[in-house]
A and B are shown apart, each in its own frame.
Chain A
Amino acid sequence: MAPIARLLLLALLSTALTISSGSGDGYTINGRVKIPQGLGTKGFALPGKTSNVKVILNGGQIVTYLRPDGYFSFQNIPAGTHLIEVAAIGYFFSPVRVDVSARNPGKVQAALTENRRGLSELVLEPLRDEQYYEIREPFSIMSVVKSPMGLMVGFMLVVVFLMPKLVENMDPEEMRRAQEEMRNQGVPSLASLLPGGGRN
């Protein structure tokens, strides 16, 4: 909890330059990964620890980790357009396109590639948290009733308890007629129901 609080505090103070010209042949990209509080806490057993968050440049050219305050930096980066990805278990981060300009060093040009949103400073936030597991539905009568076995039992109950009621409500004359019809046909036996059983 403490690092997150510190992180939020730093969010207010953050004035870091995203890109600064480094010594020698390259530039430095500085940025920050911010995982807001609240996200990823519900129903998720293993929120990715910040110590395991990797920041990856250009599909694996350079891999770095986060400092306790969420900052990261890539050093000796040539001018050009680069791609930064964040790998964190439990969160979905959009890759970020970063333009390092040789003409005016220090200029920030970053955009999320997923939704083409520009970033004024290189603060990367997850677009959403990722739930890797299905959530078990709590026990409900409906789910039991809906299952095939529940339907079987339900149908049986209907036949046992509702059919006599229906029979009772029938007109006595009609009933007699129906009973006579049944007697004429004979009781349907299991054998006659089976395919091929009728022949015997």
Chain B
Amino acid sequence: MAIRSFFLFILFFSSSLSPVFSLYEDQVGLMDWHQQYIGKVKQAVFSSQRAGRKRVVVSTEENVIASLDLRHGEIFWRHLLGADDVIDGIDIGLGKYVITLSSGGSILRSWNLPDGQMVWESSLQGPKLSKSFLLVPTNLKFDKDNVLVVFSNGRLHAISCIDGEVLWKKDFEAESFEVQQVIQPPGSDLIYVVGFAASYQFEMYQINAKNGELLKHESASFSSGFSGEVSLVSTETVVALDSTGSILLTISFQDGKISSQQTPISNLVEDSLGLAVIIPSSVSGIFAIKTDAVTVFIRVIGEGKLEVVEKTTHEIAVSDALSISEDQQAFALIQHASSEIHLTVKLAHDWDGNLLKESVKMDWQRGLVHKVFINNYIRTDRSYGFRVLIVMEDHSLLLLQQGEIVWSREDGLASIIDVTTSELPVERNGVSVAKVEHNLFEWLKGHMLKLKGTLMLASPEDMAAIQSMRLKSSEKSKMTRDHNGFRKLLIVLTRAGKLFALHTGDGRIVWSHLLRSLHKSEACQSPIGLNLYQWQVPHHHAMDENPSVLVVSRCGPSSDTPGVLSFVDTYTGKELSSLSLDHAVVQVIPLPYTDSTEQRLHLLINADKHAHLYPKTSEALSIFKREFLNIYWYSVEDQNGIIKGHALKCKCTGEVADEFCFDTRDLWSVVFPSESEKIVATVTRKLNEVVHTQAKVVADQDVMYKYISRNLLFVATVAPKGSGEIGSVTPEESWLVAYLIDTVTGRILHRVTHHGSQGPVHAVFSENWVVYHYFNLRAHRYEMSVIEIYDQSRADNKDVWKLVLGKHNLTSPISLFSRPEVITKSQSYFFTHSLKAIAVTSTAKGITSKQLLLGTIGDQVLALDKRFLDPRRTVNPTQAEKEEGIIPLTDSLPIIPQSYVTHALRVEGLRGIITVPAKLESTTLVFAHGVDLFFTQLAPSRTYDSLTEDFSYALLLITIVALVAAIFVTWRLSERKELQEKWR
């Protein structure tokens, strides 16, 4: 073992500095896969272009605008806007521009529909915050130029569609005026702005669309007040609810005169309904109100008379209106029925006549329909056909046409909350899913083709054949565990509360499961998924037991709402059980102990600082009791700037006897002065990280001992002033302090101040080092620093004689309560880019050298060798240091384009990078997620323990054959020669 590791050491240090990760262009897609998503669709607009491919433009909750192919659902183009630049509205102008209104109505952009190039951008200011509306009237012309009408920030703008120039603007400065609707009746030059003032006054402004002149201003007061949204039932009538939610107000402002009608809901619907809300819809003449159980559709029949047309208890979704001819409007209505959804398309003025009625089978794993968008097309027999785009509860997007699902997109994967991995089943006889291996001839043929490829003799067709053969290799997408540990399941939890299992070989979805426990219910109003933990990882019973994961979620946004646990089998995706807890979950601590069924023990800390043990079995309790005094944890209160250490005290002393509940005590606390320091980052080591050796051999045969402790915490604080954006402070009033804290004793092992620096801080902790990234205001560049911590108490073990005579302290117990003798070394370097995420590679045994994975602002992932961040780098390393592999010191870290692990791809909206060790020591699996997903395999010190993908077996075979042939030939030659010799 020692010899092997020594060889490996030599191997690492002797490997050249050339980028270790590098890829030929034809190797793209062999080890990696990349998937593009858009997120949950908020709004969809169909392009009405006659020629060319049919498109739909969508805006999503991930802040993406995208143009999708209506035939297949592929992305034509896509743009991700900034995090603060939330999209308020989209539309299509002049048939060729996509108009987006974002940032609370203050930025208006226009994009070219075919290729997604931005055409213009204009900034709209206004006197005060308000709702924002974007209207694209089709008939409003202004010197041959189409006009956009935008209401935002209390100001009405008319904007040219071609260049984004503001043609006129009109302020609505009245203090209490709250805009509710902006209406532009087709065929007129008028704009109506309606809203409430002082919550009981209805205001109507009539404006000339040509020049923004105020034509009329009317107001009427309603003593009962208003609540919620208003619904537009015609161009000159709105419906609103009064503040009690029990009376419907029908307000019409025909010809600038306000008239109103009050109708109590109880007049329309006999049984009392409770509090009702209006569902916003744009269908003329019809609106819907919804209570907890019932949805009622109501028609307005002239002069404010109301009539109920339908009452349903099913879950429903209604689309906006679609004009199909001069005076006809159609809309789509979707109702749920057990395993099917019923789609009906109706005309606005004729409720009972259905244009279309279809039933579509729907996987219940997709949940309810959240949104419907309708579009029509003209069939070959000149009748109207309809297609609808639906957005489901799990954020997926589906196109329905002629009673079938034409395509679907799993856009829930754009918002991943947490990721964990699971092994695949062990291969068993008769269970193997893989196809029969193809015969020897085909195998040889494949390798001959590959050989031709490497010798550059292959024709283009051959090259294509090689490429497809490599990509299709059935080996990597098998459903069983492989020898090298490359094939695994990635279990991801999405914001929609759906769990997906992705195969690492090709990224396909193996199963998906919408968690029942994350479904809205009486007890749990707005459940949110929080984290995933590995609950059971069978090693001894790998053949007959399936691994499972624990999903921790809670019932509301605040941290004191009760938690929900669910346990999911990772092979089948079945929810094994779920538990509704009677306490909150503030912190989850996976303990390093497992019971006899290999279930991991977890400690859940609630808001009152009680610890609850799971699983609730007597066996778990007895294991836990044994380790009772060895359990420590810490908590961080960012707001108060306090870090606390905790330990267990005794059983809960509450009124109910619960033997799985424990009281805790505070051991220590570190309080940061709130006027000078604010916690911005805390990082600790990964729980499952493996360290191969504590010793580090340095130049001159010297040894240094790494200080390896699982209980080290890195904390970064900045000056409160400097916690804002870059450029908001001067270097003099900003600083960053980095701490290394022992989480058992609360001892601060190291503290360093970077003057003139500020956040955001991104940090990663591994073995005995921490690397962090921050902004240096003096140089106005980003900087990365490394701190390495070494154990000095073992330094004198270097003396061989002491070891021989047994005077070493290697066997003395390590306790964190004894004062550690540590030294730290640190160094800083400039780095070019902003970072979004940082991670480090991890391998099975921790022998392979490490690489840092940096998620840059350009949504790429860069691999950077840890040797570049070595505090022992000097400007002129000695010969011995050079041999050890120390790189001469430079002021900035190099960016080598070939070491981008994402090569020419972007992981749009990058949020996190996860590394998982493969069984093969040299290799680590990397999964980066954001709006896109990217997966690859990395070998930070090259694949020294296996043959690479492009190893030519054919060349090896040919060489062997040639050598054997040569042996025979030479043997015959020598025999003949010997014979001749003898005759002579």
Contact = CB atoms under 8 A, between A and B. Distances in A.
A133 B963 contact: no
B163 to A, nearest CB: 11
Contact of A149 (B26, B28, B125, B955): B955
B904 A90 contact: yes
B84 interface: yes
Contacts of A56: 82, 834, 857
B728 A80 contact: yes
Contacts of A62: 82, 84-85
Nearest to A44: B904
Interface string B713-727: 000000000000111
B125 A133 contact: no
Given A82-B727, A149-B959, A133 B857 contact: no
A119 interface: no
Interface stretch (A5-13, A31-39, A71-79, A190-198): A71-79
Interface in B76-106: 77, 79-85, 106
A66 to B, nearest CB: 7
Q: Which of A46, A54, A147 has the most CB of B within 10 A?
A: A54
B580 interface: no
A122 to B, nearest CB: 16
Contacts of A22: 123
B727 A92 contact: no
A68 B963 contact: no
A114 B832 contact: yes
B962 interface: yes
Contacts of B856: 87
Interface stretch (B313-321, B669-677, B895-903): B895-903
A134 B22 contact: yes
B77 A59 contact: no
B73 interface: no
Contacts of B456: 138-139
A76 B857 CA distance: 22
Contacts of B119: 67-68
A46 B856 CA distance: 20
B728 A78 contact: yes
B116 interface: yes
A95 B781 contact: yes
Contact of A60 (B24, B82, B966): B82
Contacts of B775: 59
B963 to A, nearest CB: 6
Contacts of A14: none
B858 A87 contact: yes
Interface string B761-794: 0000000000000010101110000000000000
Nearest to B974: A164
B832 A133 contact: no
Interface in A40-73: 45-46, 49-52, 54, 56, 58-68, 73
Given A65-B79, A68-B117, A153-B962, A89 B906 contact: yes
A36 B455 CA distance: 36
A131 B727 contact: no
Interface residues of B, number: 66
Given A59-B857, A81-B780, A95-B832, A132 B897 contact: yes
A130 B902 CA distance: 13
A82 B777 CA distance: 10
A153 to B, nearest CB: 6
A51 B858 contact: no
B857 A60 contact: yes
Contact of B121 (A46, A64, A144, A160): A64
A107 to B, nearest CB: 16
Q: Which of B726, B860, B892, B903 has the most CB of A within 10 A?
A: B726
Contact of A83 (B84, B780, B858, B859): B780
B692 interface: no
A43 B343 CA distance: 52
Contacts of A139: 454-457
B645 interface: no
A132 B906 CA distance: 12
Given A61-B725, A76-B123, A133 B82 contact: no
A23 interface: yes
B23 interface: yes
B953 to A, nearest CB: 11
B637 interface: no
B863 to A, nearest CB: 12
Nearest to A147: B955
A134 B895 contact: no
Contacts of B944: none
B956 interface: yes
Interface string A156-189: 1000100000000000000000000000000000
A133 B898 contact: yes
Nearest to A64: B121
Interface string B726-737: 111000000000
A136 B120 CA distance: 42
B542 interface: no
Given A63-B85, A67-B119, A87 B859 contact: yes
A60 B84 CA distance: 9
A22 B969 CA distance: 88
Contacts of A85: 833-834, 857-858
A195 B79 CA distance: 67
Contact of B959 (A61, A89, A153): A153
A152 interface: yes
B833 A95 contact: yes
A156 B966 contact: yes
B115 interface: yes
A51 B726 contact: no
B117 A160 contact: no
B897 A131 contact: yes
Contacts of B275: none
Nearest to A138: B456
A132 B77 CA distance: 22
Interface in A71-116: 73, 75-76, 78, 80-83, 85, 87-90, 92, 94-95, 97, 113-114
Nearest to A96: B780
Interface string B425-455: 0000000000000000000000000000011
A144 B760 CA distance: 51
B959 to A, nearest CB: 4
Nearest to B77: A51
Interface string B943-984: 000000000000110010011001001100000000000000
Nearest to A150: B959
Interface in B890-916: 892, 895, 897-898, 900, 903-904, 906
Given A82-B726, A139-B455, A149-B956, A134 B83 contact: no
Nearest to A133: B25
Nearest to B959: A149
Given A51-B115, A67-B121, A132 B455 contact: no
Contacts of A51: 77, 112, 115-118
B118 A67 contact: yes
13 contacts: A52-B116, A54-B858, A58-B727, A59-B726, A61-B726, A66-B118, A75-B123, A83-B726, A89-B904, A130-B900, A132-B904, A136-B26, A139-B454
Given A56-B857, A59-B834, 7 more contacts: A28-B123, A56-B834, A66-B118, A83-B726, A144-B455, A147-B955, A153-B962
Q: 10 nearest interchain CB pairs?
A: A87-B858, A63-B82, A130-B897, A139-B456, A59-B834, A75-B123, A80-B727, A51-B117, A149-B959, A133-B25
Interface of A: 22-24, 28, 45-46, 49-52, 54, 56, 58-68, 73, 75-76, 78, 80-83, 85, 87-90, 92, 94-95, 97, 113-114, 130-136, 138-139, 144, 147, 149, 152-153, 156, 160
Interface of B: 22-26, 28, 77, 79-85, 106-107, 109, 112, 115-121, 123, 125, 454-457, 725-728, 760, 775, 777, 779-781, 832-834, 836, 856-860, 892, 895, 897-898, 900, 903-904, 906, 955-956, 959, 962-963, 966, 969-970
